[in-house]
Structure 1
Amino acid sequence: MSLMKRMSLIFRSKANTALDRAEDPRETLDYSYQRQLDLLSKVRRGVADVATSRKRIELQIAQLQQQADKLQGQAEKSIQMNREDLAREALTRKSALGGQIEDLKTQHAQLQGEEEKLTLAQQRLQAKVESFRTRKETIKATYTAAEAQTRINEAMSGIGEEMGDVGMAIQRAEDKTANMQARAGAIDELIASGALDDASAINRGDDISRELEAMSSQADVEAELARMKGLSSSPQPDAIEAPASGDILADSGQGEQQAVTPERKDGQA
């Protein structure tokens, strides 16, 4: 097998596989049903056209028959009037019309037979289309149910792509959780053994230092309290008694009288 043939075979096989994956049987059935409806519509139009032609020929036959009857009457009247020449002419024309009428009747019979055939074909095609439509809907319903069942089974078994992604995410979360728990346990063991210092206990000192700091703080509090008690118990200086307001007014009145008396004495002198 040559290289080009192998490439052509591979290409056709790949294309066939891709088409099989992309093909939806429901869409294919709908398309086939639509084509059958189009064909049925064409057959119906054909039947209508044949029936129209048949009706037109019937009208022509009726018109020619009226003309032939008229010529027959004219021929009879011409014989009564001893006009044999006119009667002969009328009968000649009637004979020509008779030939046309026979030709039209032949065409009418052919069209009528064609119409019957097309009508029968239309009825058969109509029955096939209806049968195909029923079968199409049944196949579509079965395919849809099978597709839904397949998706449900894939989801339940975890084979589907979505469920596979969810399962992988859960597995990763469980692995990370286990790693974090192991890391936390290891750090707790190191802190308990003294290999690592607790960051919360930095700059806090040991137990003895904390005890001494507490005692020093308590001693400072006691000393401050004793100093405040000593200040509150020391003697206060005697308060200076203020003179009564009446005495102050009396003293000021006597001074004013003593000042006025010498002035009077000077006036009298």
Structure 2
Amino acid sequence: MGIFSRLSDIINSNLNAILDRAEEPEKIIRLVIQEMEDTLVEVRSSAVKTVAEKKEIERRLVELRREADEWQRKAELALSKDREDLAKGALMARAKIAEAADSLTTDLGRLDEALAKTNDDIGQLQAKLQDAKTRERTIIARQKTATARLKVKTQLHDDRITDAFSRFDQIERNLDVLEGKAEVLDMGRKRSLADEIAELENNDKVESELQALKAKLATKNQG
């Protein structure tokens, strides 16, 4: 079942109101776009027929004017030959053609008005269609964002993740205990001569690297 019943429904439609009432706006906007596209095809198809009819009338008018000119010529010829009866007949025939031409001219005017209205309708329909497509892109983007946020929140509240972090916390506590035991074992122990010399060597190495770094920075700043 369609959203709209006729072209004027689409042109006068309020997309915001339609989407606000919809339980599934992404499906409704797709249906709206489909109906608009189908209607646009139908309106254009109708316009093609109207244009073809207009061209046919224009060709017929050209023929009638040519026939009217021909009867005018014949009436003048008849009068030049003193055949007033034939001249009258020719003028009557010309009058009938003129009457037919007037009728076709009226029809042509109606077709021009119809085409002007159709052109206006197509313009408004295209504007509505563009608006609907813009709304569709917005709805899709919002839906993707909402889905991604829901997925993240679901994962954050996943019991498996909570359990994993609990295990991490327990492992860290166990490591704290092991490190504490190691530190306790070193407490009260006197360092050996080798340990003290090694510490001095390390201090000298660090001091040497520090001085080299200072010299490098000083050279860089002077440059």
Q: Gaps (5+ residues) in structure 2?
A: 1-22, 168-223
Structure 1, residues 201-228: CA drift from partner, whole Å, max 9, x if none? xxxxxxxxxxxxxxxxxxxxxxxxxxxx
| Shift, 1:28, TM fit | 3.2
Amino acid at match of 1:51: V
Give the structure 2 partner of residue 112 of structure 1. 112
Give the structure 2 partner of residue 34 of structure 1. 34
Give the structure 1 partner of residue 150 of structure 2. 150
The aligned runs of 1:1-269 (5 Å cut-off) are 25-158=25-158, 166=160
Give the structure 2 partner of residue 8 of structure 1. none
Amino acid at match of 1:145: T
Amino acid at match of 1:140: I
CA–CA separation in structure 2 for the residues paired with 1:155 and 1:33 = 36
2:29 aligned counterpart, secondary structure: helix
CA–CA separation in structure 1 for the residues paired with 2:64 and 2:139 = 58
CA–CA separation in structure 1 for the residues paired with 2:125 and 2:29 = 17
CA–CA separation in structure 2 for the residues paired with 1:59 and 1:80 = 32
Amino acid at match of 2:43: V
CA–CA separation in structure 2 for the residues paired with 1:56 and 1:131 = 37
| Shift, 1:167, TM fit | 6.9
Amino acid at match of 1:67: E
* Identity over aligned pairs, percent: 27
CA–CA separation in structure 2 for the residues paired with 1:154 and 1:101 = 77
Structure 1, residues 187-213: CA drift from partner, whole Å, max 9, x if none? xxxxxxxxxxxxxxxxxxxxxxxxxxx
> Is the 2:29–2:132 contact (alpha carbons within 8 Å) kept by the matching residues of 1?
no
| Shift, 1:148, TM fit | 1.3
CA–CA separation in structure 2 for the residues paired with 1:95 and 1:123 = 42
CA–CA separation in structure 1 for the residues paired with 2:138 and 2:151 = 20
Q: Which moved more, 1:26-35 or 1:62-71?
A: 26-35
Amino acid at match of 1:60: R
TM-score (normalised: structure 2): 0.59
CA–CA separation in structure 1 for the residues paired with 2:156 and 2:83 = 107
CA–CA separation in structure 1 for the residues paired with 2:34 and 2:141 = 18
> Is the 2:33–2:133 contact (alpha carbons within 8 Å) kept by the matching residues of 1?
yes
TM-score (normalised: structure 1): 0.49
| Shift, 1:29, TM fit | 2.2
| Shift, 1:27, TM fit | 3.4
Structure 1, residues 59-91: CA drift from partner, whole Å, max 9, x if none? 111111110011001111111111111111110
| Shift, 1:24, TM fit | 5.2
Amino acid at match of 2:57: I
Structure 1, residues 133-184: CA drift from partner, whole Å, max 9, x if none? 11211121111111111111111122xxxxx5x579x79xx9xxxxxxxxxx
CA–CA separation in structure 2 for the residues paired with 1:38 and 1:87 = 58
2:82 aligned counterpart, secondary structure: coil
CA–CA separation in structure 1 for the residues paired with 2:127 and 2:32 = 15
| Shift, 1:44, TM fit | 1.1
RCO comparison, higher one (Cα < 8 Å, 6+): 2
CA–CA separation in structure 2 for the residues paired with 1:59 and 1:66 = 11
